[in-house]
Amino acid sequence: MDKNFQEEFMQITKFEPPLYKQRYQFVKDLVEKYKPKKVADLGCADCSLLWMLKFCSCIEVLAGLDICASIMKEKMHTLSPLPVDYLQPSERSLTVTLHHGSVAHKDPCMLGFDLVTCIELIEHLEESELKKFPEVVFGFMAPRIVAISTPNSEFNTLLPGVKLYRHPDHKFEWSQAQFQSWALETARCYDYSVEFTGVGHPPAGMEKIGFCTQIGVFVRKYPQTGESIQSEKPTEAVYKTVFKAVYPSLKDEKYLQNAVIREVIFTAQIIKHRLMSKREEYSNDPERKSKSQPSMDHFSDYLEKLVVEKNMEPFVSGNEVYIPLATIFSFPKVNRLCGTFEKLCKLIDGKVTLSSDGSAVMFNIEHENEEN
Amino acid sequence: QQGAPGQLHGRQQPQQQPQQQLQQPQQLHVPPAQSEEPGGHGRLRAYENILQERRPEGLQVSSGLQDLSLRDRGGRRRDFHDLGVNTRQAMVHVQESKTGFSGKMIKLTTNHFRLTSRPQWALYQYHVCYSPDMEARRLRSVLLFQHEETIGKTHAFDGSILFLPKKLDSKVTELFSRTRNGEDVKITVTLTNELPPTSPTCLQFYNIIFRRLLKMLNLQQIGRNYYNPSDPVSIPNHRLMVWLGFTSSILQYEENIMLCADVSHKVLREETVLDTMHSLHSQVGEERFRDTCAKELIGLIVLTKYNNRTYRIDDIDWDNSPKGTFRKSDGSEMTFVEYYKKQYNIEISDWMQPVLISQVKRGRGNIQGSVALIPELCSLTGLTDKMRSDFSMMKDLAIHTRLPPEQRQRELGRLLTYIQKDDNVQKELRNWGLSFDYKSVSFTGRVVQGEKIFQSGTMFDYNPQFADWTKETRGVPLIRAVPMDSWLLIYTRRNYDVANTLLQSLFKVTPSMGIRMSKPNMIEVDDRTESYLRVLQQRVTPDTNIVVCILSSSRKDKYDAIKKYLCTDCPIPSQCVLARTLSKPQTIMTVATKIALQMNCKMGGELWSIEIPLKQVMIVGIDCYHDTVSGRQSIAGFVASLNQPVTRWFSRCVVQSRGQELVDGIKACLQTALRNWSKWNKCLPSRIFVYRDGVGDGQLNTLVNYEVPQFLDCLKSIGTDYSPRLTVIVVKKRVGARFFAEIGGGLRNPPPGTVVDTVVTRPEWYDFFIVSQTVKNGCVAPTHYNVVYDTSQLKPDHVQRLTYKLCHMYYNWSGIIRVPAPCQYAHKLAFLVGQSIHREPNLMLSDRLYYL
């Protein structure tokens, strides 16, 4: 169902920013506050909330669940990694998965989440589904935090044209009291605490009506359950995975190795280039050497400092240029990627031509001269 | 990768000054997120107009495919395949057959795959209207697809036009939906068209569906093509990454609708624009930094970190920074830093960087506004000219991108396997009633006989497999050798030895060619542009045959200044040589030979000839160069043969700033060319062949409807009794088709002279392919020739043969080249003018190949 759109259509003149954006912002703020690693959005519809959440750098696992596969598929490709994600793999890992299924059913893929959001979901549930919902979400999934939003029926009088419900697919719309009693009962039953808030402020003087969208934020009272308890809940997979994207990450050895090799060779090339052009300058025009302007050239400054400090000078021998790995390792980018010198050596082993003792990157320059 | 937009400028409207945009940075937009994409209504209308213009009359226009979920990038939608330009129907002599006959048969396969649809297949087009009317497109589709049980799960809908693979029970279907406001809406779905598989709308539709499939295979769209990001090749030496991908287009070919798929490589750079700026800064220093950035970066295509779009860098706004603000659609102002933090959680680390400007084109190439991009958040794609000229980089790249025939077909096979194996893709195809032949099409082509090369009365045979006669004609007198009685040799002190080496080598190689060479005026200069120019001003006399300059670096400004002076103010042929080229003793004789030949051509000499059976014929070549950096000029190079053996060429060029018509200038060129031809031959040519290169995808219509009539007008204006036979051939080097010869159970490149004029040509055109050159690595690319106008009455075979013959006549290469020589000459001329001279060269030079 296209709930976002329809509500926007109605209320665009009333709320700024539009209410659906305020709801998403609310979830984003929640993520900022609690820094969850694993987040699931139940009733993710066209994935727009998930798309926003993928930019939150604390999240490593994102999952979406919806009863309607076609609406998820419509825009699911916006959740795929971008070309640039491959070009510059990020530090964090991120996996995005979309499941087709019902919140009335348990599936082990929903276990172990830190935050589960149900934004404008429950009012679409049939009575039987709504009955099973607390057991599935709070009992089975048992995430640290659950955020549930739903329309506040008391606000409907302020919405022109709303006769019964805000959306034809809504099975019910609750007043504040109805929602709160349901939420408190659920929280009590599953050992959660709950706080109520909302988005879409009522007009001044009508504060009693409450927010247009009411939200309950549930926080689990008991500590992290851990694997052991989860394994006591054996269930079969009933959801169907419709989409899965694993983002390139430096946590993945493959991407890390590529990035390190890239950085090592590139750094070595620059050092070699400097070395060669200095030699050329010198041999061509010895008197001109002193004229080079060092102030601008951070790189060579840096290099010279290194050489002086640590005696890690690159050198030419015959047709080969040697650039010590220690020099390369001291460059911040390489250093940050590898962490330790041993790791550097391990990652580039066999992928970069090294000197016989393995201490320096080696380039053959004979070939190059031929071409120029 | 991106097609150069607006190559003909025929349809462009005067555009807003980019300057204006820049002075008001607050009017810039940041690229919208997916959720904020503007609606497509304005675009829809613009597109309908274009379609209507392009369709032949009487054909039902079915527009609106642009707003399917798979829109083209950036909302731009052009008819890249020149559908609906039916030129063959006007040429009576090729109605029956457009095929040639000469040559030996050869068995070929290609990269085309048949698209099949189930029997009696049709696409059903419906018009959907709402009562009361619903404005929003998304609401329209939500309301319509509440009735999926009636309409079916397989559909394509753009808000008003609905395509279905099945026919609904009745012609008019009325459906009732209710909005959430409880408003009842009547939806009327009316059948407007039953489209046969070959209708132009269907072809567009297939392409859109195919793109849907590629997306389902999780390929990444960059520009027009799709790439596989999961298995990239990294070239760390140059910080490049190569993605393997595919180009695809589905078209009606001679007998079948086929998918033409080819392997494509996308070169991506593993650095941001900001990284590039930093390294440029350390290379050139503060003083030349901004200029260098402009030269290196403007025109490049970038990818952004946060959305899957490509943008072209049109300008750099040095006065702006991430701290600058822009106005959001709701009217509020926000800084870039805030925006990217809020929208994408991205922290911009460098707040001092400038801002990149990209103009957003919509509709018919009109600029609609600018988008501001932050260098730190943009990655570069593709190669710059500078990178292309980096020999070692290109060599490293070629290893990965130049796939030999077998390997190329194997990669292609992988795509088809993906398509075949993927359940979702197969389901989608089945739902639409479509399928592919997974084996590529095979047919026979012809290899026409090799051409004989004549030089000073001697005929030379050479191995046609190699398409090269350098060895055979070495040391043989030229047809016309121009003496070098008075010439200058200019060099810097450092290059004194090199200059002498060149001189001695020239003295060794020129006698056998028949070139009489005196001692030059040897002049030493400082290595500064002004010194070169001063010497030229002082020492060049009207008697000077040629000026040779030895340059110590490939710095462009010196070269440009010399060329500019000697092509405009003081029209004397010139030859610039890089000192480095002359510094290797083992190659100096080869280099000197090439330089001697080139100089001879520049002074009006002739090297070799081939047999041209047609009499009184003038051959014209036209190509365009688009200056993307300074001034945005377009230059058309125009050359026309002057003599019967087509060994001498007249040339002119047209320099047009953006938005102007190149056509008018070309008309004037043709007039002067005819005047000169008649001066040389004492009569006017009775046949004119125009080889027109530089026509972009989707611009054929403009060419046929604007440029060809201008040629005819021009001929009419010569005299009432003058009506020569005119043939206009559009030459296209960048085509998707590849041919492979089946030799000994393997796939090889077809030999030079292979002509293809069946199966993979287009039924509505008089077109053919010729493979004219050979390549050492990778796959040879055929050149596509489309005869759009022809009153020559010549048989197709003769037109094909003439075209192939002309590929032998480019004097800067003693071998066969990829296009007819006049196209290559026109290209050289346009390139020189566009890169270095920027205005029309002096007409005193127009009868010589000074631009080689």
How close does chain A come to B282, measured CA to CA in Å? 6
Burial class (CB in 10 A: 0-12, 13-18, 19+), B604: middle
- Tell me: the pLDDT tens digits for A204-237? 888 889 999 999 999 999 887 554 455 555 678 8
Averaged pLDDT score across all residues of chain B:
84
Which member of B180, B304, B345 has the closest CB to residue A6?
Answer: B180
Averaged pLDDT score across all residues of chain A:
83
Contacts of A156 in chain B (CB under 8 A): none
Choice among A170-184, B16-30, B213-227, B329-343 with the minimum mean pLDDT: B16-30
Instruction: Provide the pLDDT for residue A369.
Output: 41
Q: Which residue has the higher pLDDT, B36 or B382?
A: B382
- Determine the average pLDDT of the residues in A343-355: 87
Which member of B237, B379, B580 has the closest CB to residue A87?
Answer: B379
Phi-psi region of A358 (alpha: psi -120 to 50; beta: other; left: phi over 0): left
- Determine the average pLDDT of the residues in B674-691: 96
- Is B305's CB within 8 Å of A84's CB? yes
Rounded percentage of chain A residues whose pLDDT exceeds 90: 44
* Spatial separation of the C-alpha atoms in residues B823 and B806, rounded to whole Å: 10
> Quick check: A302 pLDDT over 90?
no
Instruction: Provide the pLDDT for residue A24.
Output: 94
* Spatial separation of the C-alpha atoms in residues A257 and A261, rounded to whole Å: 6
Choice among A35-49, A61-75, A130-144 with the minimum mean pLDDT: A61-75
CA-nearest residue of chain B to A3? B180
> Quick check: B661 pLDDT over 80?
no
Spatial strand order of the sheet with A320-324 comes to: A315-317, A320-324, A360-364
Q: What confidence category does residue B14 fall into, taking pLDDT thresholds of 50, 70 and 90?
A: very low
Does B93 qualify as catalytic in the annotation?
Answer: no
Of B27-41, B52-66, B457-471, which has the strongest mean pLDDT? B457-471
- Tell me: the pLDDT tens digits for B721-732? 899 999 999 999
- Tell me: the pLDDT tens digits for B173-216? 999 987 766 678 999 999 998 988 888 788 888 888 888 888 88
Instruction: Provide the pLDDT for residue B223.
Output: 79
Does B626 qualify as catalytic in the annotation?
Answer: no
Q: What confidence category does residue A73 fall into, taking pLDDT thresholds of 50, 70 and 90?
A: confident
Of B40-49, B78-87, B438-447, which has the strongest mean pLDDT? B438-447
> Quick check: B514 pLDDT over 90?
yes
Q: What confidence category does residue B66 fall into, taking pLDDT thresholds of 50, 70 and 90?
A: very low
- Is A9's CB within 8 Å of B303's CB? no
Comparing CA positions, the residue from B540, B537, B577, B543 lying closest to residue B559 is B577
ipTM: 0.78
Per-residue tokens: A45 = 């519809």
Q: Do B185 and B134 form a contact (C-beta atoms < 8 A)? A: yes
- Determine the average pLDDT of the residues in B161-174: 90
Interface of B with A in 518-537 (CB under 8 A): none
Contacts of A265 in chain B (CB under 8 A): 236-237
> Quick check: B68 pLDDT over 50?
no
A83 touches chain B (CB under 8 A): yes
- Determine the average pLDDT of the residues in A358-370: 69
Instruction: Provide the pLDDT for residue B20.
Output: 29
Choice among A143-147, A311-315, B158-162 with the minimum mean pLDDT: A311-315
* Spatial separation of the C-alpha atoms in residues B667 and A307, rounded to whole Å: 66
* Spatial separation of the C-alpha atoms in residues B163 and B128, rounded to whole Å: 10
Comparing CA positions, the residue from A263, A242, A240 lying closest to residue B239 is A263
- Tell me: the pLDDT tens digits for B517-575? 999 999 999 999 999 999 999 999 999 999 999 998 877 889 999 999 999 999 999 99
- CA A225 to each of CA A229, B134, B613: distance values in angstroms, whole numbers, following the listed order: 6, 51, 91
> Quick check: B117 pLDDT over 90?
no
- Tell me: the pLDDT tens digits for B251-274? 999 999 999 999 889 898 888 899
Q: What confidence category does residue B43 fall into, taking pLDDT thresholds of 50, 70 and 90?
A: very low
Per-residue tokens: B348 = 């911009």
CA-nearest residue of chain B to A259? B236
Q: Which residue has the higher pLDDT, B359 or B128?
A: B128
Q: Which of B181, B218, B396 should one mutate to test binding to chain A, selecting the residue with the greatest count of A CBs within 10 A?
A: B181
How close does chain A come to B500, measured CA to CA in Å? 19
Give the gyration radius of chain A's Cα atoms. 29
HSE, side-chain direction, 13 A CA sphere, residue A31: 28
Burial class (CB in 10 A: 0-12, 13-18, 19+), A37: middle
Give the gyration radius of chain B's Cα atoms. 29
Does B661 qualify as catalytic in the annotation?
Answer: yes
Interface of B with A in 13-72 (CB under 8 A): 34-35, 69
- Determine the average pLDDT of the residues in A267-277: 80
Q: Do B307 and B34 form a contact (C-beta atoms < 8 A)? A: yes
Helix (H) or strand (E) run with residue B252 in it = strand B240-252
- Is B229's CB within 8 Å of A75's CB? no
How close does chain B come to A138, measured CA to CA in Å? 30
Q: Which of B180, B274, B301 should one mutate to test binding to chain A, selecting the residue with the greatest count of A CBs within 10 A?
A: B180
Helix (H, G, I), strand (E, B) or coil at B801: helix
Interface of A with B in 165-224 (CB under 8 A): 165-168
Rounded percentage of chain B residues whose pLDDT exceeds 90: 50
Instruction: Provide the pLDDT for residue B795.
Output: 96
Interface of A with B in 14-33 (CB under 8 A): 16-17
- Is B239's CB within 8 Å of A262's CB? yes
> Quick check: B2 pLDDT over 80?
no
- Is B281's CB within 8 Å of A293's CB? no
Beta bridge partners of B484: B517
- Is B308's CB within 8 Å of A57's CB? no
Contacts of A5 in chain B (CB under 8 A): 136, 138-139, 142
Q: Which residue has the higher pLDDT, B216 or B329?
A: B216
- Determine the average pLDDT of the residues in B693-709: 89
Q: What confidence category does residue B45 fall into, taking pLDDT thresholds of 50, 70 and 90?
A: very low
- Is B346's CB within 8 Å of A55's CB? yes
- Is A296's CB within 8 Å of B220's CB? no
**How much is the pTM?**
0.78
Q: Do B601 and B607 form a contact (C-beta atoms < 8 A)? A: yes
> Quick check: A366 pLDDT over 70?
no
Choice among A319-323, A365-369, B348-352 with the minimum mean pLDDT: A365-369
CA-nearest residue of chain B to A170? B180
A74 touches chain B (CB under 8 A): yes
Q: Is the peptide bond before B196 cis (omega within 30 degrees of 0)?
A: no
> Quick check: B42 pLDDT over 60?
no
Catalytic residue among B67, B451, B693, B797: B693
User: Which are the contacts of B193, defined by CB distance < 8 A and separation ≥ 6?
Assistant: B60, B62, B124, B125, B201
Amino acid identity at B201: T
Does B827 qualify as catalytic in the annotation?
Answer: yes
Instruction: Provide the pLDDT for residue A301.
Output: 59
Q: Which residue has the higher pLDDT, B157 or B21?
A: B157
Choice among B159-163, B499-503, B713-717, B733-737 with the minimum mean pLDDT: B159-163
